[in-house]
Chains A and B, each alone.
Chain A
Amino acid sequence: MSKKELLSKIGLRLDGRRAHELRRIRCKLGVFTEPDGSAYMEQGLTKVLAAVYGPHQVRGSKSKAHHDNCLINCQFSMAVFSTTDRKKRPRGDRKSTELSMHLQQALESVIKTELYPWSQIDVYVEVLHADGGIYPTCVNAATLALIDAGIPIKEYVCACTASLANNDVPMVDISHQEEVMGGPTLTIAALPMSGKIVLMEMSQRFHLDHLDKVMNKALQGCKDIRQILDAAVRLHVRDIGSATGWALTSYNE
């Protein structure tokens, strides 16, 4: 009886959001000076740092280098204090290896790798606080870090999660609490401008009939996130540019 529902009768979720609302997103580009590009991203309580190094010569064995495009090396790690229970190791477990690969997959789809033959780009993401939707936040943060590093990308790659409440209503951007409560989670990494899906992953099940609307919800989430990222990038560029005075002329709201 005490089991809470994902969506209350009046259409509010556990944290008071409506079904179509994202959590608060805050982000900043260029948080560090040492890496070529860096970004900090907050989605609700999930906090992620991303750093990009490169393009540079291939490190390690030279046989990994490609003659026609560049190698993208992603490392995902979670700070040992990022979860409620202390983690034993920051990386190396199955989940983080999987997330590293998925991240690489998403980024390879947007980076114009053909511009940098024989080279390598390193993307490091570190989760400081995990509260659901780790993968999407990592993708979004990595996108910002790539932009900060000035690496040519085709468009923003954004990721978002969606779920189905009460077997009927799709909801976007799932928090940890909602993940734990059960219910399916659909994760999508997409190129929101061209409407392409780069990565799609689902846990648990719902009827095939619902797939369309949940997917559309997640895609809509990606589009919303793109706008937020875009605004952040423009703001950052204006801030940086205002020092030289050129951006004031090209910036229009």
Chain B
Amino acid sequence: MPIDHKRINGPEDTLPYQLFTKLNRKSLEQKYKELVQDGKRHDSRAPLEHRKIFMKTGVVSQAKGSAYIEVEKTKVMVSVFDPREIPNRQDYSLKGEIYCEFKFAPFSCEKRRLHQLDAEEKQYSQIMKKALEATVCRHEFPNFQVDIYALVLHNDGSALSAAITAAGLALSHAGVPMYDLITSATLGIQKDTILIDPTTIEERICRTPFWKEKEDNEHGLVVLSMLHTHNQVAQFYQSGSISLDKLPHLIETLEKACADTIPVIQQCLVKHVIKTIKKSSNVIEV
């Protein structure tokens, strides 16, 4: 593993202190019980309630388009750069390429992340690319490449969904031709508890099966991205262990969650348009 010598790297063998806290010693049953108490999660949301979303465009001045999304603690910044010729490519490609980089900032998670992309980040980059490829009219810029960088400033669960949603907004801010607005949502499942937009703690609980022998030990995470107007699934990713009976229901739930996010993006875009018009009319008056 090559180490980046230009930056100061943290010591190699360190452990996050959270491993030794009391929370980590709780038994699995206890954790599951505390997941939802009296119909409320630990941040007093209902199981199928999405966290509040804040979005803003034009946060990075150097980039052609950019967006910032805040889903309570999860904060992601996405910047989109102008189409440029595809580097190191001889043959002509009739469709534009999309380059995606999904990166957790070194300080964004419990454990310190390195500056280079690790396997998880590479996988997320690829999923993001898949989602955006289906969204962007790639034939509009043949032989060109659009670079999209997503930086997670704070990861408190569902970072991939937040990044995809923000990337859609950033792309429209950059004026890249798109078929539709894209929104994404994450869902966690443990036994028969379904949690929309899970936080890091909930995500961790959903990753491991709690009961080995019992039949209903389903668990897992599902990420789904939708193109709203056309009612198309742009990207779907599931991990864990989920039965065929449950999955269609989960897809439906996620579809709804995705649709709920649409007005936020629309408002944000309208705001941006009004601002731009005002600006240009000011210029004319002068």
Closest-CB distance, A124 to chain B (whole angstroms):
20
Taking residues whose C-beta sits less than 8 angstroms from the other chain, chain A's interface range is under 10
| Chain A hits for B90, CB < 8 A | 59-62
| Number of interface residues, chain B, beta carbon within 8 A | 1
Distance in angstroms between the alpha carbons of A61 and B89 in the assembled complex: 9
Where chain B touches its partner, the secondary structure class is: loop
Closest-CB distance, B187 to chain A (whole angstroms):
37
Distance in angstroms between the alpha carbons of A61 and B90 in the assembled complex: 7
| Chain B hits for A59, CB < 8 A | 90
What sequence of 0s and 1s flags, for each residue 26-66 of chain A, a beta carbon within 8 Å of any chain B beta carbon?
00000000000000000000000000000000011110000
Chain A interface (Cβ < 8 Å from any Cβ of B): 59-62
- Interchain Cβ contacts under 8 Å between A and B, 4 examples: A59-B90, A60-B90, A61-B90, A62-B90
* Interface residues in B176-235 (C-beta closer than 8 Å to A): none
For A61, the closest partner residue in chain B by CB is B90
Distance in angstroms between the alpha carbons of A60 and B89 in the assembled complex: 8
| Chain B hits for A62, CB < 8 A | 90
Distance in angstroms between the alpha carbons of A61 and B88 in the assembled complex: 9
For A60, the closest partner residue in chain B by CB is B90
For B90, the closest partner residue in chain A by CB is A60
| Chain B hits for A60, CB < 8 A | 90
Closest-CB distance, B272 to chain A (whole angstroms):
43
Distance in angstroms between the alpha carbons of A60 and B90 in the assembled complex: 6
| Chain B hits for A61, CB < 8 A | 90
Distance in angstroms between the alpha carbons of A108 and B90 in the assembled complex: 26
* Interface residues in B69-122 (C-beta closer than 8 Å to A): 90
Closest-CB distance, B85 to chain A (whole angstroms):
15
What sequence of 0s and 1s flags, for each residue 14-55 of chain B, a beta carbon within 8 Å of any chain A beta carbon?
000000000000000000000000000000000000000000
For B1, the closest partner residue in chain A by CB is A88
Please name the 4 residue pairs, one residue from A and one from B, whose CB atoms are nearest each other, closest first: A60-B90, A61-B90, A59-B90, A62-B90
Distance in angstroms between the alpha carbons of A62 and B90 in the assembled complex: 9
Closest-CB distance, A87 to chain B (whole angstroms):
15
